[in-house]
Structure 1
Amino acid sequence: MSENHKKVECSNHGLRNNAFVCQHLVTSEFTGFWESFDSDPTKIYSNDELNAWCDECDKILLEQGEWNDISEAFAGIKLICDVCFFEMKELNSGSSNYNSK
């Protein structure tokens, strides 16, 4: 891992690698778990590689055709740690809303 690999201090998991999710996954406001690739919790990902969003964000993303000011404003991306990311993924994978692109 490179020296400039960014870390985040998580109140639950300590100093960890970073990940980014929509605000709705953090607050459990909407369900579903979308990501640009099927991530694996046994691997270490480089900075900014772990990203996920909920069903409602995916609808806006499809309407907009890309991440832009509108879709990003709706998503309200939040920084979390990689352990929290995979916990969110696991919580959503048991539902019919789990999806990966």
Structure 2
Amino acid sequence: MNKAELVEHIASSADLSKAAAARALEATIQAISTTLKKGGTVSLVGFGSFSVAKRAARTGRNPRTGAAIKIKAAKIPKFRPGKALKDAIK
């Protein structure tokens, strides 16, 4: 399912126009992104939680040359599914 299909599904399920569903989806994504950027977490009970994980700096290898390269430390988004989501896909 891509974003357009998700907007269409939201519109039909919530009895909204596609434009309103698209705005709602964009607002949700923006709210999650903003919260994670500030270092917070977003918990949706039954669905899961979004958080930020820190990845330490490390040494890697260039696959073409085999030379060692330094990989910088980074913050990455992380999603942990909730029990209801896990049970729904069994």
- TM-score over 0.5 (shorter chain): no
Give the number of the structure whose residues are more often strand, by fraction.
2
What TM-score do the two structures reach when normalised by structure 1?
Answer: 0.22
User: If you compute each CA radius of gyration, which structure gives the higher value, 1 or 2?
Assistant: 2
Structure number with the bigger relative contact order (C-alpha 8 A, sep ≥ 6) is 1
What TM-score do the two structures reach when normalised by structure 2?
Answer: 0.24
